[in-house]
Amino acid sequence: MAFYYVKIGFRILTTIFTKTAFFENEIAERLSYNEEKSFTGGTSMARILFVCTGNTCRSPMAEAILKSKQLPGVEVKSAGVYAPNGAEASANAKTVLEENDISHDHRSSMLTRDEIDWATLVLTMTQSHKGLVMNQYPFAADKIFTLKEFAEETGNLDVADPFGGNEQIYREAFKEIQKSIERILDKIR
């Protein structure tokens, strides 16, 4: 009888270790990048979609920053999980972009299946956005990350929301986004 319990205990432990190893490998695979696996979705074009809440502050700044790099073979869009269609970027977002010599004509758009299908990589501004997008579009889970997660940063993986803040708060959000984008450039080329 004791042997029976040892055998069952061993099976349980084996199952736990196997599942843990599987999830660790899955996470490592999702974050790894090499010449054979890029985020171009099998095309020569990388299509990056930035996602935030209202698509008037963080994701338009991220879109503008990456577009300003003028990377060949990289297309960029942004959308919001609760965005009104057609709103301009916030005044402070536009000011901060202008201060950094980045011009960007932006109109907000609600995140839809079309954008998810278009994108080869979806980068959200927060873990909450990531959860919402993955819940709504589970088939796309392998291409959805927070921006900071994809940039392999540690600690807080959320970009602070500057909405309603002054220009200085927007400058800080801009720097936070810019730093993360610099870290992902080699992965998306």
Query: Which of 20-24, 44-48, 67-71 is modeled with the greatest confidence?
Result: 67-71
CA distances to 5, 92, 156, 170 from 99, rounded to whole Å, are: 69, 10, 27, 11
Retrieve residue 100's tokens.
């950094």
Do 79 and 93 share a domain, yes or no? yes
H-only helix segments in the chain: 2-31, 58-68, 91-99, 113-118, 127-136, 147-150, 167-188
pLDDT in the model for residue 40: 57
Q: Are residues 175 and 90 in the same domain?
A: yes
Confidence check: pLDDT of 34 > 70: no
Cα separation, 91 vs 112, in Å, equals 25
Active site residue 114: no
Choose between 37 and 184: higher pLDDT.
Answer: 184
Q: Are residues 43 and 68 in the same domain?
A: yes
Q: Shortest CA distance to 90 belongs to which of 125, 119, 122, 52?
A: 52
Question: Are residues 6 and 51 both part of a single domain?
Answer: no
Number of domains composing the chain:
2
Query: Do residues 21 and 57 share a domain?
Result: no
Whether 81 and 143 share a structural domain: yes
Same domain, 12 and 59: no
CB-based contact 156:147 (threshold 8 Å): no
Contacts of 99 (CB under 8 A, 6+ apart): 171
Q: Do 168 and 105 reside in the same domain of the chain?
A: yes
**What range does the domain containing 18 cover?**
1-32
105 catalytic residue (yes or no): no
Q: Supply 35's token pair.
A: 């010449």
pLDDT in tens, 71-98: 999 999 999 999 999 999 999 999 999 9
DSSP string for 55-97: SSSHHHHHHHHHHHT--TTEEEEEEETTPPTTPPPPHHHHHHH
Do residue 110 and residue 28 come from a single domain? no
User: Are residues 7 and 43 located together in one domain of the fold?
Assistant: no
Give the percent of the chain with pLDDT over 90. Answer: 76
Average pLDDT over residues 134-150: 98
55-76 exposure pattern, b = at least 16 Cβ within 10 A, e = fewer: bbbbbbbbbbbbbbeeeeebeb
CATH at residue 56: 3.40.50.2300
Cα–Cα distance for residue pair 72/67, rounded to 1 Å: 10
Check whether residue 107 and residue 54 sit in a common domain.
Answer: yes
Residue 57 annotated to the active site: no
Candidates 161, 171, 183, 189; catalytic one: 161
Name the active-site residue from 47, 52, 57, 158: 52
DSSP-based three-state secondary structure for 151: coil
Residue 174, pLDDT score: 98
Do residues 82 and 158 share a domain? yes
